[in-house]
Amino acid sequence: MVFPDEIKNFLQSLIKAKKNLHLYPDNNPIYIKTLDDLYNRLATLLDSQDDITLTFKQFDIFYNSELVYHNDDKQESLALFFFKDGVREISFKKGIPKEEFEDFMKIISSDFERELVDDDVVTLMWEKDFRFIQYVVDDTILLEDEGYEEMATKQVIASASSEDQILKAYEEAFGIQKAPTINIVPLTNEDLRNIVEQIENEPLDKSDKMLILLFEMLYLADGQAEFEEITDLIKSAIKYAVEHGNLKALIHTLKSIKEITDKKLFPEKLLIILKGVEYFCNSQIIIKSFGNVLDQGIEYDEDLIQELSQVMDSSAIPHFVNILGQLNNISSRRTIIRILSELGKKDIKLLARGMSDRRWYVVRNIIYVLRQIKDRTVMEFLTKALYHPDKRVKKEAIRAVGELGDSSAVQNLRDCLDDEDESVRINAVKAMGRIESPLSRKYLLEYINNSRFNEKSFTEKRELLLALSRYRDREVVETLTRMLKKRSLFKKTKLTETKAAAAFALGVMKEKSAYNLLKRFVNDKNTLLRENAQMAIKRLGDV
């Protein structure tokens, strides 16, 4: 036997739980504990009887005709919450599984003001098809016209067949010919499979199909006003589609507009209206919501992204550049970079303009995109970026210049060798190595001969000598061997590092003449030098 007071307390906990479940995600410990506690309370109540039935009035809840809850606050009232959608009774039956109870709690703690404008609490319960929670609903709130049923019934009966007609039918029935009956073909497993397949293939979002039909509707439109109406619908559909991650819809639209425009399928003034749709597809609104979708973690097929970047207009470039700085996920930024690497080709200057963005990471990404595009026309912008205050941008720019640049860029790269950051200098050295030109060679040699060279780190020295090793002329070989032979009493460690770097470079050059010299160090007590010398000898042996 459950007493009304116990129900009272249970309802109070339920209201508290309703708030907690609304606040926390379902893997949060508070959520889990709240739900467990409440479920256990209910289960305990159901230990002593088969069900617990609550009845609802506008602001009151009753249990066994005792008032167990009252609240007339329109926002807060649990009674009103159920009552307003027509719920008059709810009962929980013994044996209710936790999952079912959780579903119920999820429904009543969802935000009806915002999330689910189209579903009321009864619809949500109905969809769950609960087995241990039963409810009684008063459907008269749905009635449009209470007298309708009676009126309609009368009307049907008034138009009912007369006795004469029925008897006439009976009389004639014996005279008519027997009609052939149709054969019903029984369903087969094949049919079932076909249907299951059709159901499984139903897409969640059909806005791409909707757009195909909206374009059909353009052809059916009667006059400019209707045409404009449909184009407005197309715009809304595009917005919806992109918000729901349906890129096919966007691609289809852009392709269709292109086809219509190319083939001049409509008179000029209508084509101008369509231009507006194309403009919209490439607008900031659309690209922004595409970015949001990406950040929610939706992933796309390579091919689809490729197709999208081909059909979009260059006017979208600045918007893509803009969201590049706003997206949170690496993978979404990567997608945008992929798009820009293709779309950017349509207007490289416009893309490169993004390099004046205040955000260093945007600039770096754009430089990366430009590297992908491999177009020399942007050298001017890249060269400028070599002097960017952020070293991360600088490095990306140096890499790009190294890949795309010619000897004319070497002068600017040389300036980077003076940078106080080692990684910048190393990148510059590498880039200069890539651009094989007399000027590069000249600057690299100058750098070595600089009195401070010995002070640099092993890595920097190695990279530099490696860059130099591309020039296999006498002067370079002599410089390297001279280094290897050098002896000094001071700064011995630094000197050994320089020697190790020189040994490494000679090995890379496969410089036979250095064989004997290198041999001297293969048993050196300094590990770095010894190993680099051994490596070089090995390389020479491969020749």
Return the residues of window 92-131 that contact other proteins according to CB under 8 A. 95-98, 118-120, 122-123, 126-127, 129, 131
Binding region for other proteins (CB under 8 A) out of 212-220, 311-319, 468-476, 522-530: 212-220
Binder among 27, 113, 178, 542 for other proteins (CB under 8 A): 178
Binder among 27, 111, 157, 328 for other proteins (CB under 8 A): 157
Q: Which of residues 23-52 bind other proteins (CB under 8 A)?
A: 43
Q: Which residues pair with 513 in a beta bridge?
A: none
Q: Shortest Cβ distance from residue 215 to other proteins (Å)?
A: 8
Q: Which residues pair with 303 in a beta bridge?
A: none
Give the residue with the Cβ less far from other proteins, 204 or 330.
204
Binder among 202, 301, 473, 542 for other proteins (CB under 8 A): 202
For position 153 contacting other proteins by CB under 8 A, the verdict is yes
For position 224 contacting other proteins by CB under 8 A, the verdict is no
Distance of CA 124 to the CA centre of its chain: 29
Burial 247-279 (b: 16+ CB within 10 A, else e): bbbbbbbbebbeebeeeeebeeebeebbeebbe
DSSP, collapsed to helix, strand or coil, labels residue 157 as helix
Q: Which of residues 131-150 bind other proteins (CB under 8 A)?
A: 131-132, 139, 142-145, 148-149
For position 196 contacting other proteins by CB under 8 A, the verdict is yes
Q: Shortest Cβ distance from residue 58 to other proteins (Å)?
A: 19
Q: Whole-angstrom Cα distance, residue 540 to residue 508? A: 8
Contacts of 467 (CB under 8 A, 6+ apart): 429, 430, 432, 433, 440, 444
Q: What is the DSSP string of 103-145?
A: HHHHHHHS-TTTTTTT--HHHHHHHHT-SSEEEEE-GGGG-S-
Binding region for other proteins (CB under 8 A) out of 184-192, 280-288, 397-405, 460-468: 184-192
Give the residue with the Cβ less far from other proteins, 163 or 420.
163
Q: Shortest Cβ distance from residue 104 to other proteins (Å)?
A: 15
Q: Shortest Cβ distance from residue 29 to other proteins (Å)?
A: 22
Q: Shortest Cβ distance from residue 193 to other proteins (Å)?
A: 8
Pairing state between β 60-63 and 133-137:
unpaired
Give the residue with the Cβ less far from other proteins, 85 or 463.
85
Contacts by residues 270-273 (CB-CB < 8 Å, ≥ 24 positions apart):
270/224, 270/227, 273/224, 273/227, 273/228, 273/231
Q: What are phi and psi of 202, to 5 degrees?
A: -60, 120
For position 210 contacting other proteins by CB under 8 A, the verdict is yes
Give the residue with the Cβ less far from other proteins, 208 or 357.
208
Q: Which helix (H) or strand (E) holds 91?
A: strand 87-93
Give the residue with the Cβ less far from other proteins, 120 or 375.
120
Give the residue with the Cβ less far from other proteins, 99 or 303.
99
For position 231 contacting other proteins by CB under 8 A, the verdict is no
How many residues at the interface with other proteins, by CB under 8 A? 82
For position 1 contacting other proteins by CB under 8 A, the verdict is no
Pairing state between β 87-93 and 66-70:
unpaired
